[in-house]
Amino acid sequence: MSQSDTVKLISADGFEFIISREAAYVSNTIKSMLDEQGGFMESETNQITFPGISGAVLERLCQYCYYKVKYLHTPSTAIPEFKVHRDMALDLLMAANYLDM
């Protein structure tokens, strides 16, 4: 199957997020998973299930991906803050470490 422009990310509680491939590649882990060279299941279906990440965290991660792509070439002084809610901070940090982003 050829590489589509979008990928589908599915959370532990069944929420599905369809985001652009460019945004998804902000995560090095996702990028490796979808690498055609590896020939894994995910690269054929363009869909990844994360049994360890909740829908709420995954949504915020997707937003971060788009945020990162948008401001990639902006001088750091002009980038607005990416706000993280205190209750979610730890989960978000761990998931980001897992996804290498």
Partner 1 sequence: MSLGRGGRLKLDMFTHPVRKNLDHSYFDTNWALLENAIKEINNHNASRLSFEQLYRTAYQLVVDKFGHRLYAAVREAEAEYLRGVAERLDLLPSPSFLPGLKYEWERHMKSMGVIRAFLLYMERMYIPNQPQLAPLNQLGLDLWRDGVVRAPRIAPRARALLLEAVARDRGGELVDASLLKAITSMYMDLGPVVYRDDFETPFLEQTSLFYAAEAASLLQAADCPAYLAAAARRLEEERARAQAYLCPASAPRLLGAVERALIGDQLPALLDLPGTGLVPMLRARQYDDLHVLYRLAARVPGGPVLVQEALGAHLREAGKALVTDPERAKDPLAFERDVWENLVDKAFAGDRQFVYTVNRAFEAFLNLNPRSPEYISLYMDDKLRRGLKGTSEEELESALDKAILLFRFLQEKDVFERYYKQHLAKRLLQGRISSDDAGMAGKRSCLTWQPGMGTAEIKANFGGKRHELSCNTHQMVVLMLFNDSDRLTTREILAATQVPDAELRRVLQSLACVKGKNVLRKEPMSKEIGDADVFSVNDSFQSRLYKVKIGMVVAQRESDEGKEETRERVEEDRKPQIEAAIVRIMKARKQLSHNSIVSEVTRQLAVRFIPNQQVIKKRIESLIERDFMERDATDRTLYRYIA
Residue 77 Cβ vs partner 1, minimum distance, rounded to whole Å = 18
15 binds partner 1 (CB under 8 A): no
* Residue 100, phi-psi category: left (phi > 0), alpha (psi -120 to 50), beta (remainder): left
51 binds partner 1 (CB under 8 A): yes
Tokens of 15: 């929420």
Per CB under 8 A, the segment of 15-23, 73-81, 84-92 that binds partner 1 is 84-92
Helices (H), the chain: 21-24, 28-34, 41-45, 55-70, 86-99
Question: What is the binding site for partner 1 (CB under 8 A)?
Answer: 28-29, 32-33, 35, 37-44, 48-52, 54, 64, 82, 90-94, 96-98, 100-101
